Chain A
Amino acid sequence: MDRIPILRMGEFLLVTIQVDMHDQLAMTLQDDLTAAVQRLGAKGVLIDISALEMVDSFIGRMIANLSRMSRILDARTVVVGMRPAVAITLVELGLSLAGVDTALDVERGMRRLRDGVEKSGVSIVDADE
């Protein structure tokens, strides 16, 4: 069965979408990721869409839902790597992805997730400065 792999990096989950997803695959990913956040107690999810050549309203809705669901499960989601042509098209399509956190690349996305965990004071204690 088709599935997009979910990688675990400490308290974060990492997903790289590298195929042109059909609708069922997008739904399966949404379910798998939500389940993984809960099961592993993940604090953040990073979704790399740099390989996606288009995001239509279906995939956009999946991303928005995922972001909302993981927030309810106490994890934040960052979407990284959106191509400029995809961003331009999404805006004209009418999909603003409100509430979805984005970063330009994986490195910045990971930093954003770590900052989020630090701010909430969950697991990182800074030395005196």
Chain B
Amino acid sequence: MSTPTNDVLPLRNEHDIVLARQHVRRLTQELGFGLVDQTKMVTAASELARNAVIYGKGGVMRWEALSDGARRGLRLHFIDEGPGITDLRLALTDGWTSGSGMGLGLSGAKRLVNEFDIETAAGQGTRVTVTRWK
């Protein structure tokens, strides 16, 4: 099969956010995710892509299809080289926002996936990795 199992998409503007979620929708469909699981992963991707565009000043979404025995999953990395997050605990609190959002982006995305990992530091950019298994 020539279908790639990983690739990178740019996240430069709000149109890229739409493209990213459409891409994630397609990937989750190809992996055989149920409708609710698809919707959760697409929504998480939308939140994290927007964070990368707005707070990270642009970045990329890297994706990889996973298989662990009979288990299949999708892992997404949202990588930006923006200002980073100084207080991670605060950023992961529901309702806290540094911008004009509702403050549900990070904390909400975390609840929509099975695995969530974030690496960030002031001036070092942010890398959020999320995984959802079928």
Contact surface of A with B, Cβ cutoff 8 Å: 20-24, 53-58, 60-61, 83-86, 88-89, 92-95
Contact = CB atoms under 8 A, between A and B. Distances in A.
Given A89-B39, A95-B102, A20 B21 contact: yes
Contact of B112 (A20, A53, A61, A92): A92
Given A57-B47, A92-B40, A93-B111, 16 more contacts: A20-B18, A20-B21, A20-B22, A22-B18, A23-B50, A56-B50, A57-B101, A58-B101, A85-B35, A85-B38, A85-B39, A88-B39, A89-B40, A89-B112, A92-B108, A95-B104
Interface of B: 14-15, 17-18, 21-22, 25, 35-36, 38-40, 42-43, 46-47, 50, 94, 101-102, 104-105, 107-109, 111-112
Contacts, number: 71
Contacts of A88: 36, 39-40
B104 A57 contact: yes
Given A23-B17, A24-B14, A61-B102, A56 B43 contact: yes
B14 A56 contact: no
Judged by DSSP, the binding face of B is helix
Judged by DSSP, the binding face of A is helix
A89 B104 contact: no
A92 B104 CA distance: 10
A54 B46 contact: yes
